[in-house]
A and B are shown apart, each in its own frame.
Chain A
C-alpha cells in the first residue's frame, strides 16, 4: 500500500483480504451547523441520520466499520448493495428531511470498490487498504445530496444498473498520482 508519494510504503496488514465495496457518508457543513444550532440540536439530528443509516445498512447487508461523528464508513460485499444503500439514504433525506436550525441536513456519499483487509485491532475491527483512502477522498468531491462512484465501482455493477448512471469524469484526487474516473449520481 502506498500513499501515492514516492518512497513511502507501508507493509500491508495481516488479515483477510477481500474485494469489497466501501461507502463513506459525510454530513455537509457539520461544523457550521453545530455553531448555528448548538450541540444538542445537532446531536439529535446525528442520531436521526445514524438511525436511518443503520436501518439501511441492515437491509442491504452491509457492515458499519467506523463512525466519525459526522459520517461513517460502511462496507458491502458488492457494489450493487452499496449503491442501493447510498441512494436509499439520499432518497429518504430528500423525502423526509431532517431539519437543523431551519436547514435540511444534507449528506455526501462516496463509493469505491477494491481489495481491503479486515482485521481486529486494539480498538475493534477495522478495514485497511488504498481503496479506503480513495473512497474517502471521492466522497469529498460529491455535492450535497449526491452519490459519487469511482469508475471501478461503476464497472462492478450489473450492466443494467450502469446504464442509469451519469457520464464519467476524470478528477484529480489528493494523494493519488493519476486522475481517477468518477461518476456522479443525482437523485
Chain B
C-alpha cells in the first residue's frame, strides 16, 4: 500500500466508547441560557473528563453538543480499556456529586453514561463506525424505552440521571475483568438500525444496596 492509499484508509482500533450526556441540558439552557449556564456546564464537564480520563487511557474527547464522546484504549489489553472507561465514568459521577454539593440546585449537573466496546475508525479528534452509533443508541435509552423492552426492570428502577449503562459486550468484559461492579440487565431492547434483540445493563458499584 502506498502513502496515498494508506491516507484513505483510517486506522482501526479496538476501544471502549463512552457517550456522556448532560441530562436535561436543553431545559437547563432554555431556562438559564447558553452563555449564562449551559456553556459553563459543558466546559466544567470537559475539564473533569480530562482530569480523570487522561490517567485511564482517554484517547478521544469530542463534543456532541449536550455532552461528549469519549474513547479509551489500552496498549496491553484492549478489553481492559472497557473496565477503565467504566471506572472513569464512576470517577466522574463522584466528582459531579462533590461539585453539586457546592453549587445552587439550578446549576447542579446530572449525567448519564453509555459504555460500549468495539472496533472504531480512528479519525483525528473523532471516531467513526457502527460501534460508535451503537453507543449513541445506548445513551438514548430512558425509562420510556423500557415499555418496548422484553423482561424490562420496572421503569422507576432506572434512575433519571447519574447512572451508567453498558452493552452486552462490556458487561461480559466486566464480569471477566473486574469485581468492582455488578451489572443488572434492564431488559432486551431493539436499537434502531441494529438487528436483533440486545441486552442492556445498568452498571452498579459492587457494594450497591
The answer to whether the Cβ of B65 comes within 8 Å of any Cβ in the partner chain is no
Q: Is the Cβ of A5 less than 8 Å from the Cβ of B175?
A: yes
- Chain A interface main SS type: loop
Within 8 A of B (CB), among A136-181: 136-137, 140, 174-175
When chains A and B are docked, how far (Å) is the Cα of A136 from the Cα of B193? 17
Q: Is the Cβ of B147 less than 8 Å from the Cβ of A123?
A: yes
The answer to whether the Cβ of A132 comes within 8 Å of any Cβ in the partner chain is yes
The answer to whether the Cβ of A16 comes within 8 Å of any Cβ in the partner chain is no
When chains A and B are docked, how far (Å) is the Cα of A7 from the Cα of B204? 13
Residues A129 and B184 in contact in the complex (CB < 8 Å), given A6-B175, A137-B197, A140-B196: no
- Chain B interface main SS type: mixed
Q: Is the Cβ of B147 less than 8 Å from the Cβ of A128?
A: no
When chains A and B are docked, how far (Å) is the Cα of A28 from the Cα of B155? 29
Residues A8 and B195 in contact in the complex (CB < 8 Å), given A68-B190, A122-B154: no
Within 8 A of A (CB), among B162-186: 168, 171-172, 175, 182-185
When chains A and B are docked, how far (Å) is the Cα of A73 from the Cα of B95? 43
The answer to whether the Cβ of B79 comes within 8 Å of any Cβ in the partner chain is no
Q: Is the Cβ of B150 less than 8 Å from the Cβ of A136?
A: yes
The answer to whether the Cβ of A66 comes within 8 Å of any Cβ in the partner chain is yes
Q: Is the Cβ of B197 less than 8 Å from the Cβ of A122?
A: no
| A residues less than 8 Å from B172 (CB atoms) | 5
Interface centre among A124, A140, A175 (most CB of B within 10 A): A175
Residues A7 and B182 in contact in the complex (CB < 8 Å), given A31-B193, A122-B155: yes
Interface size of B in residues (CB-CB distance below 8 Å): 26
| B residues less than 8 Å from A130 (CB atoms) | 151
When chains A and B are docked, how far (Å) is the Cα of A130 from the Cα of B150? 10
Q: How far is the CB of B176 from chain A (nearest CB, A)?
A: 10
| A residues less than 8 Å from B197 (CB atoms) | 133, 136-137, 140
The answer to whether the Cβ of B20 comes within 8 Å of any Cβ in the partner chain is no
Interface size class of A (residues with CB under 8 A): 20 to 34
B-facing mask of A1-43, CB < 8 A → 1, else 0? 1010111101000000000000000000001000000000000
- Of all chain B residues, the one with the shortest Cβ separation from A123 is B147
| A residues less than 8 Å from B185 (CB atoms) | 3, 8, 10
| A residues less than 8 Å from B171 (CB atoms) | 5, 8
The answer to whether the Cβ of B141 comes within 8 Å of any Cβ in the partner chain is no
| B residues less than 8 Å from A6 (CB atoms) | 175
- Of all chain A residues, the one with the shortest Cβ separation from B193 is A31
| B residues less than 8 Å from A136 (CB atoms) | 150, 188, 197
When chains A and B are docked, how far (Å) is the Cα of A129 from the Cα of B152? 10
| A residues less than 8 Å from B168 (CB atoms) | 174-175
Q: Is the Cβ of A7 less than 8 Å from the Cβ of B154?
A: no
Q: Is the Cβ of A133 less than 8 Å from the Cβ of B151?
A: yes
The answer to whether the Cβ of A96 comes within 8 Å of any Cβ in the partner chain is no
Q: How far is the CB of B202 from chain A (nearest CB, A)?
A: 11
Within 8 A of A (CB), among B116-132: none
Interface centre among B150, B153, B171, B182 (most CB of A within 10 A): B150
The answer to whether the Cβ of B114 comes within 8 Å of any Cβ in the partner chain is no
**8 pairs, A vs B, C-beta closer than 8 Å:** A8-B182, A8-B183, A122-B154, A123-B146, A126-B152, A128-B151, A129-B151, A136-B197
Identify 5 new A-B residue pairs, CB closer than 8 A, beyond the known A128-B151, A174-B196.
Answer: A8-B185, A10-B185, A69-B190, A124-B147, A137-B196
Cβ-closest 5 pairs across A and B = A123-B147, A140-B196, A3-B185, A136-B197, A132-B150
